[in-house]
């Protein structure tokens, strides 16, 4: 089913950036809108860091400058994604109400003078943020420029926890709701261990500085609590906005795989997802790959709805040790990649490069150099003109037959200390995503409780924490004909991080047709040979274990030492489907060898076979199909389109049989 346009007023690709007019004299604003029109900008995110300029004490608000900004923008045909301005509380607020300030695990305060220094549970922050949102929403509810609400900004980008008195109280309340009684908490947290039994709620704290490992379930619950506490704030703002402007969609800008926030919960609460993408342009960093994973996550978080790339940079950022500049042409390529992977908007941080403050060396659409003479601005204008040609792509969706499971609870629990080895959840997930990306196979991210019936293959990388009901969902998916690949150290603990005894991987043993007796983690430089039948030898690393087959068959075995001849990779036929298990980690090349065979078996294919480093995606909208071809090579490529033909939308040329793409070139073909 085709989706609705993101914004009621347009079926254009959204194009623009963060606009901070408060940093400039109003004489510059006229020039801004002139250049915006020239660049094809149709949307700006306004007022993100304006709180201090909008409110000078408890009762005094100054909106006139923002009124003039909004009026000027709409007069020039530019819409506004209006921020609620709550991301950086003004100094007067934290001086008068010190409970606003967040406090870290060592008891140190985060002061104003930067940004995002607020405690999510601070009653004063909540009170004044709500008041500000109410004022802004009421004032601009009917303003013709307003098309979307931008709640706060990059929640948890800098501050990942707070241990102040208000947070401690809020954590206790959260636990009371979760467990109902102290007895249940003591049981879940396993407080019989190391004399941690609690007799009164006032004894329970956030996980502050301790001599050694903090109780794991306490840490896990604190991560859950912190994500929820910020989400409560976001919902508080959203509820005010929806009450005053029920027809204006709300978003908040995500940050791809941001560990502190369980974005699955968050995405349900907003109208469309958006994210900020800052891949490192330094040669060798594979920015395209990193960005593709963020696009795929942001799209997957809200199925059936395109997303917006809310921020990226035109040229370079200011916060890495070396801030490489995107080479000419690559900003366009990265922007069109966002559209290719399901985005309906391409925006930047920021419109005009600052000359003061901590971000004055961060690139922008209008750089320090005179706009009309700047390479960057020329590229910005050219991109704006091209995006205008892609209006009909808006609302179209990507259909994936492959899914990779991502679960924040499993991520948090896996990376807590005192494990058999150090796992990195995101890199386990990324290894699989990379395979599908590089093979041009559309891939979604899903949770373990998703209805998986539309997928032909589901991969569950290191799903350390797994609830019984979710394991049952995976089992049912396999029995009905699905294929699942589970990797090592999955299904080890339940939702409270308590081990399921009686053989790993807990609730999955029957699905996988095996059980695991013990582990042999490998040293950083250790390798193991794993052999497929009598054939190909693959290189394994990080992990090995003793697998006992109970129905599953070994596809590959370890070749050395105590594990010689034991299963390293297994396949279990179950009902109409198959469950595979990888009892180690393969290097990326060898993983491809195995996955190539697997997807051949399941008959999963790319839309088109193309030279390496050419990205292919397909967006669909009813009968309309848009084929995106992106050449990430520094040289031209010729692509055989097989029987495909259609209209290339950027050049408006009919294309048949083949197409030539220049270095970093892109084609968007509406297929016949």
The residue ranges that bind ligand GLA (CB under 6 A) are 153-154, 276, 278, 311, 317, 349, 359, 362
* Residue closer to ligand GLA (CB basis): 359 or 670: 359
The strand pairing partners of 216, in sequence order, are none
The bridge status of strand 527-532 relative to strand 537-541 is antiparallel
* Residue closer to ligand GLA (CB basis): 232 or 359: 359
Q: Minimum Å distance from CB 358 to ligand GLA?
A: 8
Q: Among residues 22, 26, 154, 550, which one is catalytic?
A: 154
Q: Minimum Å distance from CB 186 to ligand GLA?
A: 41
Residue 546 exposed, middle or buried by CB count within 10 Å (0-12, 13-18, 19+): middle
Instruction: Give the DSSP letter of residue 162.
Output: -
Q: Minimum Å distance from CB 48 to ligand GLA?
A: 6
Q: Among residues 237, 311, 545, 648, which one is catalytic?
A: 311
Contact 395, 621 (CB under 8 A): yes
SS3 287: helix
Does 154 qualify as catalytic in the annotation?
yes
Instruction: Give the DSSP letter of residue 231.
Output: H
The neighbour count for residue 239, using CB atoms within 10 Å, is 14
Residue 284 exposed, middle or buried by CB count within 10 Å (0-12, 13-18, 19+): exposed
* Residue closer to ligand GLA (CB basis): 276 or 585: 276
Separation of alpha carbons 663 and 448, rounded Å: 40
The neighbour count for residue 419, using CB atoms within 10 Å, is 15
Contact 404, 432 (CB under 8 A): yes
Instruction: Give the DSSP letter of residue 4.
Output: P
Instruction: Give the DSSP letter of residue 55.
Output: B
Residue nearest to ligand GLA (CB): 276
* Residue closer to ligand GLA (CB basis): 276 or 444: 276
Does 615 qualify as catalytic in the annotation?
no
Separation of alpha carbons 671 and 39, rounded Å: 29
- Is it true that the peptide bond before 181 is cis, omega within 30 degrees of 0? no
* Residue closer to ligand GLA (CB basis): 76 or 323: 323
* Residue closer to ligand GLA (CB basis): 153 or 631: 153
* Residue closer to ligand GLA (CB basis): 265 or 359: 359
Quote the tokens at residue 262.
């369980």
Residue 597, phi then psi, degrees to nearest 5: -65, -40
Q: What ranges in 423-490 are assigned the alpha helix state H? A: 425-438, 468-479
Residue 515, phi then psi, degrees to nearest 5: -140, 155
* Residue closer to ligand GLA (CB basis): 171 or 278: 278
Separation of alpha carbons 538 and 446, rounded Å: 29
End-to-end CA distance of the chain: 19
Contact 337, 288 (CB under 8 A): yes
- Is it true that the peptide bond before 443 is cis, omega within 30 degrees of 0? no
Q: Minimum Å distance from CB 157 to ligand GLA?
A: 6
Question: Which amino acids are annotated catalytic?
Answer: 154, 311
């Amino acid at each position: 089913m085709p989706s609705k346009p993101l914004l009621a007023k347009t079926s254009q690709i959204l194009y623009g950036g963060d606009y901070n007019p408060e940093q400039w004299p109003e004489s510059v604003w006229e020039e801004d809108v002139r250049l915006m029109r020239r660049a094809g900008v149709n949307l700006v995110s306004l007022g993100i860091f304006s709180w201090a300029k909008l409110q000078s004490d408890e009762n005094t608000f100054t909106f006139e400058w923002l009124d003039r900004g909004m009026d000027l923008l709409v007069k020039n045909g530019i819409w506004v994604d209006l921020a609620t301005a709550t991301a950086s509380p003004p100094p007067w607020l934290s001086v008068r109400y010190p409970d606003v300030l967040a406090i870290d695990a060592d008891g140190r305060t985060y002061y104003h003078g930067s940004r995002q220094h607020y405690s999510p549970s601070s009653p004063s922050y909540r009170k004044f943020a709500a008041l500000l949102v109410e004022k802004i929403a009421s004032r601009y509810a009917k303003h013709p420029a307003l098309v979307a609400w931008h709640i706060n900004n990059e929640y948890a980008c800098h501050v990942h926890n707070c241990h102040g008195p208000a947070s401690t109280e809020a954590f206790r309340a959260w636990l009371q709701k979760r467990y109902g009684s102290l007895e249940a908490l003591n049981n879940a947290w396993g407080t019989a261990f190391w004399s941690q039994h609690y007799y009164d709620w006032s004894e329970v704290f956030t996980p502050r500085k301790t001599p050694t490992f903090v109780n794991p379930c306490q840490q896990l619950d604190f991560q859950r609590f912190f994500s929820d506490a910020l989400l409560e704030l976001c919902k508080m703002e959203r509820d005010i906005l929806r009450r005053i402007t029920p027809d204006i969609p709300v978003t908040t800008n995500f940050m791809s795989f941001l560990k502190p926030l369980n974005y699955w919960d968050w995405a349900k609460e907003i109208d469309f997802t958006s994210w900020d993408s800052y891949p490192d342009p330094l040669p060798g960093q594979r920015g395209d790959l990193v960005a593709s994973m963020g696009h795929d996550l942001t799209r997957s978080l809200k199925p059936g709805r395109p997303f917006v790339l809310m921020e990226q940079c035109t040229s370079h950022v200011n916060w890495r040790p070396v801030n490489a500049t995107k080479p000419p042409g690559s900003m366009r390529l990265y922007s069109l990649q966002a559209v290719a992977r399901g985005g309906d908007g391409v925006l930047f941080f920021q419109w005009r490069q600052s000359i003061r403050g901590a971000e004055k060396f961060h690139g922008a659409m209008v750089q320090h150099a005179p706009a009309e003479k700047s390479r960057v601005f020329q590229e910005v204008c050219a991109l704006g003109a091209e995006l205008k040609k892609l209006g009909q792509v808006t609302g179209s969706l990507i259909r994936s037959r492959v899914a990779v499971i991502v679960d924040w609870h499993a991520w948090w629990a896996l990376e807590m200390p005192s494990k058999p080895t150090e796992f990195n959840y995101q890199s386990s997930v990324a290894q699989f995503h990379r395979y599908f990306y590089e093979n041009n196979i559309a891939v979604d991210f899903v949770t373990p409780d998703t209805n998986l019936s539309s997928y032909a293959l589901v991969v569950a990388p290191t799903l350390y924490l797994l609830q019984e009901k979710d394991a049952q969902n995976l089992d049912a998916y396999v029995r009905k004909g699905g294929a699942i690949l589970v990797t090592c150290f999955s299904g080890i603990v339940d939702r409270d991080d308590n081990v399921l005894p009686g053989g790993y991987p807990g609730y999955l043993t029957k699905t996988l047709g095996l059980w695991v007796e013990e582990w042999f983690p490998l040293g950083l430089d250790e390798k193991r040979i794993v052999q497929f039948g009598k054939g190909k030898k693959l290189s394994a690393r990080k992990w090995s274990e003793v697998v006992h087959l109970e129905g599953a068959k070994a596809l590959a075995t370890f070749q050395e030492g105590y594990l010689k001849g034991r299963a390293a990779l297994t396949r279990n036929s179950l009902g109409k489907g198959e469950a595979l298990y990888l009892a180690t980690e393969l290097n990326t090349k060898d993983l491809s060898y195995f996955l190539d065979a697997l997807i051949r078996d399941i008959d999963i294919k790319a839309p088109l076979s193309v030279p390496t480093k050419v990205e292919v995606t397909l967006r669909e909208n009813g009968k309309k199909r848009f084929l995106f071809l992106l050449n990430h090579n520094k040289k031209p490529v010729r692509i055989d389109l097989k029987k495909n033909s259609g209209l290339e939308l950027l050049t408006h040329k009919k294309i048949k049989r083949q197409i030539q793409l220049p270095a970093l070139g892109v084609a968007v073909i509406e297929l016949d």
